[in-house]
Structure 1
Amino acid sequence: MSTVATPARDVTLAVAGTVVSGLQVPWGLGFLPDKSALVTERDSARVLRVVGGRASEVGKVDGVKTSSEGGLLGLAVDPGYPKRPYVYVYYSGSDANRIARITYQDGKLSDQQVILDGIPAAAIHNGGRLRFGPDGYLYAGTGDGAERPNSQDDGSLGGKILRITTDGKAAPGNPDGRVWITKGHRNVQGLAFDGSQLYAAEFGQSTWDELNAITPGANYGWPAAEGISHLDGMTDPIAQWKTADASPSGIAISKGYVVMAALRGQRLWVIPVANGKRIGEPRSFFANQYGRLRTVEPAPDGSLWVTTSNTDGRGQPRTGDDRILRVTLSTS
């Protein structure tokens, strides 16, 4: 069941501290049952385990090709872990983006297996977020691979939201039996569930960034639409921002709010939602205080872990960057 935010309530975000510092372009983040976290570094292809304020390497992902936006991207932990001792990563290869399943046991990675290949790749617009849904299937946000027609091409995996089994097959119930459930996206980098409702954040081109409520089978309009466009047969976002204020990446749900990290906008946006609708105005927190913000994940203690992305070639690194911040959200 989804949680409901009441717009009349006041929401407050606070940075409770730094979990760890000294990271290089942290991108994907997933928690293990022991409350430690695995974190990917985009450019080094390393996977790190974060526990007790320290980060240690547990392995590297093979076949990663880095670029201005490509490399080792999203990570998700199998919901059956440790009986199913797997983690899943989304990464850029030499000719495509791929999703791989990797065994994680005894503190190290092994047995990397590609489960889905052929996602369009380029220096930009690679998507990359992974998220397990409450249905147990793996969802992935992809980009158009810098080729706009991919987003409307039913035969392309670019500009889509994918829903797959842990073997990389189309999940049961997908529209027309395809591996994707929505199309018409430009570059999806944020996925989060509120109950069974999926929300997705994506980069616009130069005018509007978007937060979308996802309905399987829907067309979200790109490249014909950017932002709220009211085009026949296409689904409008529930919120939009000027690209200078957002350029969104990761999102998470907390207490009925979507919490969205902004790269160019260098802040967190908090949007009250319920049942796939926005029920209040977005609010901005931490503008220009910590630099570019990439990933937001709910932590086991109820806080949010937020990664900075100041070492990604587009930011201005500060002493200790990149870091993971521990953020608390409260309402009154």
Structure 2
Amino acid sequence: MKRLSPGTVRKKSLVVALALALTAAITSAVFWLAGASPIDAYGALYKGSFGSRFGFEETLMLTGVLILVALAAAVPARAQLWNIGGEGQMFVGALAAVLVGLNLQAPPPVVVVAALVSGALAGATWGAIAGALKSVLSANEVLTTLMLNFVAILLVDLAITRVFADSGVPSASPHLPEGVELPDVWPGAGVNLTIIVAILAAVAAHILLMWTSLGLRIRAVGLGLDAARNAGLPVARLQALSLALGGAFAGLAGSVIVIGIQGLLVRGFSPGFGFVGIAIAMLARAKPAWVVPSAILFAALTVGGSYLEPIVGLSASAAILVQAVLVISLLAFWVFPPGRIGGK
């Protein structure tokens, strides 16, 4: 595995520090102009996400989901692909998980594992559709994955209104049977194995990309399509496979939402997790090892945002502003590093 030189580490650390400082400066100015104390606003974000046991548990649970949808964007990105379809892949994964959870006659632990696997396979299949279109027809993956989002969401709506019409729960499937759920990390905890599944997935993605021949070939495609073709690599097949792998992570995210969080499939259950995952993958520079801390940051801002209005009178959407400014700041410093700005 490639080792970073001390100079490279310092440069990357400087970029992150500058982006954080710029984000703090810009958002503090916005908070002040909105009539709120920047210190109180950031204090509210911290209090909402880490200042109580409930907030901390909510942050960890959301982190698990965001890690998985970020991996859905990060893995294809290493092959020069934009997977905009994490939302749809998550929806079909959730649908597959609830169908298995409701219909498989087996001990609850077996049903849970089967539901998680089926969700990942459904997401992988949905990603593979875009991959096949890319490989066979050279269709732009941005358009195909984006359009497949709408198809997946409509498919879930159709299942809820037709297949689960007599569920007894408005705009949702029936509740999963008792015991078909992810267990808590420890007895009495408000955090279940969602976060553990997500971290293991990030570790698996890191090992796949950095320590296997398949990962080496995917990264080679990402470093240069023409060079990869000249080296005899099956570029189209590798790109299609990377989209399928990304879809598997998004489908797993849908599974853990059904099995680990909601206990049923709710119509429109996602507020846009798949698109947030793209921002997290960009923040992590498509590196699974950095997806985890990036997801924690986004989850903390999202959960903490609910405390902004009662404490400082700002809308919870102000937390989205912080996320957006941070991503844009990092992109700016990656494109124009400090050395280049200074003329070196």
Q: With structure 1 as the length reference, what TM-score do the two structures score? A: 0.24
**Which is richer in strand?**
1
Q: Say which one has the larger Rg.
A: 2
Task: Compare relative contact order (CA 8 Å, sep 6+) and give the higher one, 1 or 2.
Answer: 2
**Which is richer in helix?**
2
